[in-house]
A and B are shown apart, each in its own frame.
Chain A
Amino acid sequence: MEFFVKFPYFVPVTNMDEQIRHILEILENDARASPEEIASLTDMSAQEVSQTIAKLEDTGVIRHYKTIVDWDLVGENYVYAVIELKVTLERNQGYQAIAERIYKFPEVRSVRLLSGNYDISLTVRGKSMKDVAFFVAEKIATLDQVQSTSTHFVLKTYKEDGVILHEPESIKRLPVSF
């Protein structure tokens, strides 16, 4: 595909090929869509779709496929917390180094560098509030670069990665109209 000739490596793309946009939109909405299914929705053959997806994976445009799970429904009551960190930068060490130290903990679900009153925001998952509190106190607050932490426990998640959990009833339309 011409797209990959123009952009052989991962680069921010502004003028995206229309077919690639279709593939990415379909997969972003349903990671399990098969090449055959995607082909039936586009101008491409299943083989072309497979090849294009492979290239999108190779170049890092597609990073990962994941499933959004509502763990509450199977009785696994995970506790989530958003933690704000203020950090001090050390000589020769940028934010990247701190982020790397932090994101290696499996308890940490996301790490973001922010503008504003604090520097880094984490999402942490644990089995209990105590779990999370100890993790923050022992593993995060004790890091040399961390000046202060502020922990906010999540009470309810309404929307996750663009997916509304507990969708309201759908709207009824007339079955026939012109």
Chain B
Amino acid sequence: MRPQCDPSKFVANTVKNIPPSGIRRFFDLVSGLEDIVSLGVGEPDFITPWHIREMCIHSLEKGQTSYTSNYGLPELRDELTRTYYRRYGLDYDPSSEILITTGVSEALDIAVRTVVNPGDEVIIVQPSYVAYVPSVVLAGGKPVIVSTHRDDEFSLTAEALKPAITDKTKAIILNFPNNPTGAIMTQEDLEDIADLVVDNDLFVISDEVYECLTYEGKHVPFSSLDGMKERTVMLNGFSKAYAMTGLRLGFAMGSPEIIHSMMMIHQYSMLCAPITAQIGAIEALRNGKEEMERMVREYDRRRHFIVRGFNRIGLECGNPKGAFYAFPYMGNTGLSSSEFAERLLDEKKVVTIPGDVFGEAGEGFLRCAYAASIDDIKKALDRMGDFVDGLKQ
């Protein structure tokens, strides 16, 4: 008989170097429980609008199940060009400046791999989505964390960014509207960042997947700022705006040089995004505005409801202006975010995500998604109110 071996020794160091996620234990806790109310989701609770699903079904009936161009269906790229011209006056050439990807997750991965050389520093603004640090680590880069704070409504200031920039800094990853804080950036704030980007010759990876979920003020794409188009790759997708999470469709917009380089990776790893989802996305852009705006108004109402609710039960909560997350402060309860979330789950069966999952700057906060029905939000708030009262005694 041949000798046994430990297969873990085959795992590459880059993968071993991905920082561990504390959330695993939390997942396991949730899976065993009944009668839970979840504010822990990162996806819309709406089903994909029927006209989009119907178009996907129709395409399958017609037998549209082939590969598409590596860049994605030309009709979809045309629609994206039109959409972004209409919304912001942005001018992206559909033949060379747009790449359709399998979700924003893929777009992020290949954007990072496209610009990062081993040893390059990439600035990541936290609290933020959990994939940025691992993406940079997997590409051999070095994540450098810049924190945002409650006092600034979690928007990024040039003062906070400046000290993190070194001569090794290659790029910044921005994510506004932000998951988990719901923060957005004003044009003014972004202009200050753009100045630093030029002064230090940096590249920007701007994840704007929550773009359409902006409730106050107007979303400003980073690439729309003067001189920023060539220095930015905008990542975006259909998951949040059109409730299409499981269809996995995203896109990247940038200079022909960057998009072509991203396509070089994409063509060998993904080949193309699923055609069914691409067809659904064309329909979403052509005829989905009204349904999308209806969903946004519904989120907006839940936003008012949950923010007032948190402040009423004694969890101070700022006003998130985008995405579908509230980020209440619980740092004055004497518990850490993880302790609070775990006990809340254990004792009251409410799922929230501890803020430190999104980086150290999230410690003292909870991410609570309001992409849930008002009834569920109400139930969660009542249970959380009881929990907070219990802590005071």
- Asked if residues B302 and A174 are in contact (CB atoms below 8 Å), the reply is no
Residues of B154-184 whose CB lies within 8 A of A:
179
Which of B30, B130, B301, B309 has the most C-beta atoms of chain A within 10 angstroms of its own C-beta? B301
Closest to A176 in B: B40
Residue-wise interface mask of A (136-171) relative to B, using a CB-CB cutoff of 8 A (1 in contact, 0 not): 000000000000000000000000000000000001
Partner of B304, one of A42, A171, A174: A42
A41 CB contacts on chain B under 8 angstroms: 301-302, 304-305, 374
Q: Which of B41-49, B69-77, B88-96, B222-230 contacts A (4 or more CB under 8 A)?
A: B41-49
B348 on interface, CB distance cutoff 8 Å = no
Residues of A within 8 Å of B294, CB to CB, are: 25
Question: Is B353 in contact with A43, judged by CB distance below 8 angstroms?
Answer: no
How many of A's residues come within 8 Å of B, CB to CB?
15
Q: Is the CB of B297 within 8 A of A176?
A: no
In the complex, are the beta carbons of B304 and A178 less than 8 A apart? no
- Please determine whether B374 and A178 come into contact, CB atoms closer than 8 angstroms: no
Question: Would you call B100 an interface residue if the criterion is a C-beta within 8 Å of the partner chain's C-beta atoms?
Answer: no
For B41, the chain A residues whose CB sits under 8 A away are: 173-177
Distance between Cα atoms of A40 and B302 in the complex (Å): 9
Decide: A177 and B40 in contact? CB cutoff 8 A: yes
Chain A: CB-nearest residue to B358: A178
Give the residue among A25, A173, A174, A176 with the most B Cβ atoms within 10 A. A176
A178 & B301 in contact (Cβ 8 Å cutoff): no
Of the candidates A41, A174, A175, the one having the most CB atoms from chain B within 10 angstroms of its own CB is A175
Are the CB atoms of B47 and A175 closer together than 8 Å? no
A174 to B309, CA, bound (A): 24
* A63, B337: Cα distance in complex, Å: 49
In the bound complex, do residue A25 and residue B297 qualify as a contact, i.e. CB atoms below 8 Å apart? yes
**Do B374 and A176 touch across chains, with their CB atoms under 8 A apart?**
no
Is B351 part of the contact surface with A, judged by Cβ < 8 Å? Answer: yes
Q: How far is the CB of B215 from chain A (nearest CB, A)?
A: 10
User: Which A residue sits closest to B369, measured CB to CB?
Assistant: A177
A109 at the interface (CB under 8 A from B): no
A116 to chain B, nearest CB (A): 25
Nearest CB in chain A to that of B37: its residue: A175
**Residues in A neighbouring B351, C-beta threshold 8 A:** 175-176
Asked whether A43 lies within 8 Å of B304 as measured between CB atoms, the reply is: yes
- Distance to closest chain B CB from A138 (angstroms): 42
Task: For the complex, give the distance between the alpha carbons of A174 and B369 in Å.
Answer: 13
Residue of B nearest to A26 (CB): B301
Q: Cβ of A22 < 8 Å from any Cβ of B?
A: yes
A178–B129 CB distance below 8 A: yes
- A residues neighboring B (CB under 8 Å): 21-22, 25-26, 40-43, 171, 173-178
A25-B298, A176-B40, A177-B40 are known contacts; what are 4 more A-B pairs with Cβ within 8 Å?
Answer: A25-B294, A40-B304, A176-B351, A177-B43
29 A-B pairs in the complex with CB atoms less than 8 angstroms apart = A22-B297, A22-B301, A25-B298, A40-B309, A41-B301, A41-B374, A42-B301, A43-B304, A171-B47, A173-B41, A173-B43, A174-B41, A175-B30, A175-B36, A175-B38, A175-B351, A176-B27, A176-B30, A176-B41, A176-B351, A176-B353, A177-B42, A177-B43, A178-B42, A178-B129, A178-B130, A178-B131, A178-B179, A178-B353
